[in-house]
A = this chain, B = another copy of it.
Amino acid sequence: MTVTAREIHLKSRPEGLPTQDNFELVERRLEEPREGQLLVRNLWMSVDPYMRGRMRDRKSYIPPFQIGQPLDGNAVGIVEASTVPGFAPGDRVSHFTGWRDYALVDAKGATRIDEKVAPLQAFLGPLGVPGFTAYIGLELAKAQAGNTVFVSGAAGAVGVIACQIARIKGCKVIASAGSDEKIAWLRDKAGVDGTINYRTAGNFEEALAKVSPNGIDVYFDNVGGAQLDAALGVANDFARFALCGMIEQYNDEAPPPGPRNMFQAVLKRLTLQGFLVTDYLKRMPEFTREMAQWIADGKIQSPETVVKGLELAPKAFLGLFSGDNLGKMLVDLR
Q: Which residues of A contact B (CB under 8 A)?
A: 53, 60-61, 224, 228-229, 237, 243-246, 249, 254-276, 279
The complex is assembled from copies of this chain, and their number is: 2
Q: Are B224 and A263 in contact (CB under 8 A)?
A: yes
Q: Are B262 and A266 in contact (CB under 8 A)?
A: no
How far is it, in angstroms, between the C-alpha of A262 and the C-alpha of B279 when the chains are bound?
20
Chain B residues in 8 Å Cβ range of A249:
263
Shortest Cβ gap from A235 to chain B (Å): 10
Chain B residues in 8 Å Cβ range of A273:
265, 269-272
Chain B residues in 8 Å Cβ range of A261:
255, 258
Closest residue on chain B to residue A250 by CB atoms = B263
| CB pairs A–B below 8 angstroms (21 shown) | A61-B268, A243-B265, A243-B266, A244-B266, A255-B260, A255-B261, A255-B263, A256-B260, A258-B258, A258-B259, A258-B261, A266-B274, A266-B275, A267-B274, A267-B276, A268-B274, A269-B273, A269-B276, A270-B274, A271-B273, A271-B274
Q: Are A259 and B262 in contact (CB under 8 A)?
A: yes
Chain B residues in 8 Å Cβ range of A274:
264-271
Q: Are A228 and B60 in contact (CB under 8 A)?
A: no
